[in-house]
Amino acid sequence: MSGSTSGQVELPLRWLKPSAEPVSVVCATRVYYWDGHWDTVLGRAIRCSGSDCAYCDRAQAVERRWVIGVKRPGGERFLFEMRKRQRAAIDLLTELGEASVGQRLSIRREGDSPTSPVTVSVLSMTATVERWEIEKLVSVLGRA
């Protein structure tokens, strides 16, 4: 996994998988979001296509997904997806906007199951961190 010096993220880029042990990361992007539906047949989220959405036509709930880019100690980069449960952290980081870059977070899964709730705590501002851009990447998440 690597990134260019221009702030553009190069692939491959992995998703951060929280564990029962707290993970310390630093925000390297502002918060982005996208709206989607869970497709039980495909076993993945599909982006809501708006007024002509087949999932909406079937009255399937739309779920907002918030995405940030984070760096672990050592510089390894990940995407991290937040849900409604992490709303306090989402609201604080969203309010900070571009100033959220450099915020230190602690992320922890509250159990051993992959479906256990995840806690996100906004801890403090850290030293300057290289900002990177994921807007184009987030814009294609959930596409069929």
Average pLDDT over residues 121-141: 83
**Confidence category of residue 12, pLDDT binned at 50, 70, 90:** low
**Confidence category of residue 25, pLDDT binned at 50, 70, 90:** very high
Return the pLDDT at 11: 55
pLDDT above 60 for 77: yes
pLDDT above 60 for 62: yes
Average pLDDT over residues 112-139: 85
Query: What structural domains does the chain harbor?
Result: 14-34+65-134 (2.40.50.840)
Average pLDDT over residues 63-77: 92
pTM: 0.81
Distance spanning both ends of the chain, measured CA to CA: 25
pLDDT above 60 for 5: no
**Confidence category of residue 135, pLDDT binned at 50, 70, 90:** confident
**Confidence category of residue 7, pLDDT binned at 50, 70, 90:** low
Mean residue pLDDT of the chain comes to 87
**Confidence category of residue 4, pLDDT binned at 50, 70, 90:** very low
